Amino acid sequence: MKILFPRVIALTLAVSLSGCAIVSPRLEPEVPVAGSWNESAPADAVGVTPTWWTSFNSPELASLVTEALACSPNLAVATERVKQAEAEVRVAGASLFPQLNLDGGASAHRSGNTAGAVPALTDSASSIELTASYELDLWGKNRAGVRAAESSAAASRFDRDTAQLTLVSGVATSYFDVLALRTRLAIARENLDIAQKVMDVVSARARDGAASALDVSRQQGTVDSQKAALVPLEQQERQTLAALAVLLGRPPEGFDVKAQNLDAVQSPKVGPGLPSELLLRRPDVAEAEANLASAHANVDAARAAFLPQISLTGSGGFVSTAIGTLLQGSNFGYEYGANLLQTIFDGGKLAGQKDLADATQQEFVARYQSAALNAYSDVETALIQVANTRKAEDHLRREVEAAREAFEITQLQYRQGATDLLNVLQAQQQLFGAEAQLAQTIQASRQSSVHLYEALGGGWVENPDDRTQMVQQASSAQQK
């Protein structure tokens, strides 16, 4: 045995150093990439920065985002998941090192009848032993497990970054929603005031016999309609404020924001960059890729499980009948050995695990492709929304100016008896409708900018140490 064991060690070390680890060919998902976006950005557009929310020029929004990043419970959940994944890496990494255990004990045994003539006998023993075991990772099974855990940890970090981007986007969107609702409330109250003033004129003309009861009833209906329009807007404002408070980690009671409208909020011009660079700027795509890398490592581990597993064991220690003489050299003993395990029949368990790992890898290939395609779609959609809402906002501003001027003219004509109430009502409704539509379009315009920032990754930059993706080049057929 003394001659055999060194030979076993030499043989196993030689095999392990010869690079026998099983590494299967990695699947590279193919995602076609265009050379440019369908919707072009303005010539003076600027790129996305990690603090993109400051480009709206709203100090209050910047303060809310800072609070959300520090206090949001949703982000805290994602952060704790990262810590869990990093702990899993340490657990998996322990398989690459020997396991050492120290065991000590003492025992005593007494026999015989102390009352009789035969004296009682007492036996005692003490021991201390150090044991070691080490599994030789000849085929890379344990190393593949570590790679899988490391990739999963990277995916958790990317998931946290995605949650952070989603949180910031949610805060900005909810904040703009509150301001847009307040703008619409202000317009509705102004319209109610206008309708009430017209009602006063109609009532006065009716008392003088210059207007009919029908005119009074029609205008009273307009006044009541404007009062009714205030109720759902006030409810939506309170609900949106409550949702914003939750994003910040605050209770909704007593929460409020200072700004009353979107007038001071700028509409930034965002440059989307090249499509071929998008996948390196999206944390959700990086997460999909990391999950694929983890699945690939699990395939290697499943294949290595078919091969023999060799482990080395050894132990040494002291055994004595007296604690005082326990550590004397004559009481020391040791043993060592090597074990080989090769599965012969397991009812298809290993084959099933390999098939499961292969299918999981194929699933994550499809998931990566889906994440990449959705990323391109998000940017295209956001670019279209930004361009269209900006055009619509310009048109509606001119429409509101024209409608207001027409209403003022018809109102003056009605007071002078040069036109009837029907023309006043029509001009009034056109003004109210145009102002409401403009407020909603301004809201959509700011939201589309937030959506574009989010679609472009919010200025996210992947840590070079975590990067496993390759920058995809646009196909020549698509560039032509």
The pLDDT assigned to 264 comes to 87
Residue 111 pairs in a beta bridge with 121
Predicted structure pTM score: 0.82
CA distance 480 to 477: 6
For the record, the structure tokens of 388 come out as 């269209």
pLDDT for 237: 95
Question: What are the CA-CA distances from residue 384 to residues 39, 49, 380, 447 (Å)?
Answer: 6, 21, 6, 13
Phi then psi dihedrals of residue 275, to 5 deg: -60, -35
What pLDDT does residue 113 have? 58
| pLDDT value for 322 | 64
List per-block mean pLDDT (blocks of 10 residues) for the chain, which spans 480 residues. 44 48 74 84 86 94 96 93 93 90 77 58 74 87 90 93 96 95 91 87 86 87 90 95 95 93 88 88 92 90 87 81 65 81 87 91 92 94 93 93 92 83 83 88 92 94 66 38
Diameter over CA atoms, the chain: 140
Work out whether the CA dihedral 284, 290, 294, 297 comes out positive or negative.
Answer: positive
d(C-alpha 249, C-alpha 263), whole Å: 27
Q: Are 287 and 300 in contact (CB under 8 A)?
A: no
pLDDT at 31: 84
Phi-psi region of 479 (alpha: psi -120 to 50; beta: other; left: phi over 0): alpha
> What b-and-e string marks burial along 93-102, b requiring 16 or more CB atoms within 10 Å of the CB?
eeeeeeeeee
- Residue 455 pLDDT: 95
CA 418, 419, 421: angle at the middle one, nearest 5?
A: 140
- Which CATH class name applies to 23-97+139-306+349-479? mainly alpha
CA distance 360 to 364: 6
Domain ranges of the chain: 23-97+139-306+349-479
Please give the Cα distance from 421 to 409 (Å, whole number). 13
Q: Spell out a b/e string for 404-438, using b for 16 or more CB atoms within 10 Å of the CB, else e.
A: bebbeebbeebeeeebebebbbebbebbbebbbeb
Exposed / middle / buried, residue 246 (Cβ in 10 Å: 0-12, 13-18, 19+): middle
- The 3 state secondary structure assigned to the chain is CCCHHHHHHHHHHHHHHCCCCCCCCCCCCCCCCCCCCCCCCCCCCECCCCCHHHHHCCHHHHHHHHHHHHHCHHHHHHHHHHHHHHHHHHHHHHHHCCEEEEEEEEEEEEECCCCCCCCCEEEEEEEEEEEEEEEECCCCHHHHHHHHHHHHHHHHHHHHHHHHHHHHHHHHHHHHHHHHHHHHHHHHHHHHHHHHHHHHHHHHHHHCCCCCHHHHHHHHHHHHHHHHHHHHHHHHHHHHHHHHHHHCCCCCCCCCCCCCCCCCCCCCCECCCCHHHHHHHCHHHHHHHHHHHHHHHHHHHHHHCCCCEEEEEEEEEEEECCHHHCCCHHHEEEEEEEEEECCCCCCCHHHHHHHHHHHHHHHHHHHHHHHHHHHHHHHHHHHHHHHHHHHHHHHHHHHHHHHHHHHHHHHHHHHCCCCCHHHHHHHHHHHHHHHHHHHHHHHHHHHHHHHHHHHCCCCCCCCCCCCCCCCCCCCHHHHC
- pLDDT of the residue at 5: 44
